[in-house]
Amino acid sequence: MTGPTVGVFAISVAAEMAGTNVQNLRVYERKGLVDPDRTAGGTRLYSRDDVDRLSRIRDLLDLGLNLAGIAAVLQLEAENARLRQEVLRLRDARRA
């Protein structure tokens, strides 16, 4: 069984799942917005988490953000999630 971070979807499948096209996925990778796994032969494999991220990118594009803005938003969202986890960890440590 595979988890949500293991690349299992080919680029065409990931593009369809995210509601975009293959060319966009290649651009997003070049811009550092997504980093799919690669087979030994170099084939891109996207995970469930990658597809969710691609859908988030599509949503942000629909809101009018450019790729630089999307990169900033994704970075801030990741930092926010990390800080929330840290707050929970500290609360748990304080209660113990």
Cα(28)–Cα(46) distance, integer angstroms: 13
DSSP string of 44-95? Answer: EEB-HHHHHHHHHHHHHHHTT--HHHHHHHHHHHHHHHHHHHHHHHHHHHHH
Structure confidence at residue 1 (pLDDT):
61
- Whats the size of the chain, residue-wise? 96
One digit per residue, the tens of pLDDT, for the chain of length 96 reads 678 999 999 999 999 999 999 999 999 999 999 999 999 999 999 999 999 999 999 999 999 999 999 999 999 999 999 999 999 999 999 998
Domains annotated for the chain, with CATH where assigned, are: 11-95 (1.10.1660.10)
- Please tell me what DSSP assigns to residue 34: -
